[in-house]
Structure 1
Amino acid sequence: MTSDQGDKGIDGVDPGVPPSGAGCVECEAAGGWWFHLRRCAQCGHIGCCDSSPAKHATSHYRETGHPLVRSFEPGEGWYWDYATNELYEAGPELAPPASHPEEQPTPGPAGRVPADWAESLR
């Protein structure tokens, strides 16, 4: 990642913004489920990954133009740039928490994941 703002940080990253919650905003509202979670590095929106049925993280990028997401999975700190289709193994630290709670299952959330969830990954 490179900075287009000099010493102000990386364009598209606001390290002070906390995540919007512990799960995908849209899936939570609709009673849906997700496979993995992604966090918008600019506004903190939590959306589900492209392996999830609804792909809300990508939809958020298309709606807002916010290009950078960070994994919101425990133990992961990589970034993805939707604008350039580039993976970054590391990047700036964001406001805590860095992931969904470890006790939250993957896929999740508990009680809403269908028994045949793995079939949707094909």
Structure 2
Amino acid sequence: MSCVHVQALPELRIDAGQGCADCLTLGEDTWAHLRACLTCGHVACCDSSEHQHASAHHAATGHPVMRSVEPGESWRWCYVDARLV
């Protein structure tokens, strides 16, 4: 099931590259799982990680939808609707 936020997303090529961009900026390289913002492509760590950068990215930018970039996962989460989409 989708939401209006998913329908409005641009086409992006996501590159998880080195990992959580925010943790790496802090000089850290440990996180639980990675998420990618489907509005801008920013890669950040999940809420199970110490710094919860994916949620912080949503709070700072208002970008609504993140998706897992973990191998074998394709789910997306809409922060605005608080549900899988």
Q: How high is the TM-score relative to the length of structure 1?
A: 0.61
Q: Is the 8 A contact 1:79 1:87 kept in 2?
A: yes
Q: SS at the partner of 1:52?
A: coil
In structure 2, C-alpha distance between the alignment counterparts of 1:34 and 1:2, rounded to whole Å: 29
In structure 2, C-alpha distance between the alignment counterparts of 1:51 and 1:20, rounded to whole Å: 18
Q: How high is the TM-score relative to the length of structure 2?
A: 0.86
User: More strand by proportion, 1 or 2?
Assistant: 2
Gaps of 5+ in 2: none
- State the shift of 1:29 in Å: 1.1
In structure 1, C-alpha distance between the alignment counterparts of 2:60 and 2:13, rounded to whole Å: 19
Give the letter aligned to residue 87 of structure 1: L
In structure 1, C-alpha distance between the alignment counterparts of 2:44 and 2:31, rounded to whole Å: 9
Q: SS at the partner of 1:39?
A: strand
Instruction: Name which one, 1 or 2, has greater alpha-carbon Rg.
Output: 1
Partner of 1:36: 33
In structure 1, C-alpha distance between the alignment counterparts of 2:66 and 2:38, rounded to whole Å: 5
Percent of counterpart pairs with the same letter? 42
Match of 1:62 among 36, 59, 66: 59
Deviations along 1:11-53, one digit per CA (max 9) or x if unpaired, are: 2x22234336331011011122210000001100000000000
Match of 1:77 among 68, 74, 79: 74
**Cα RMSD after superposing both structures:** 1.8
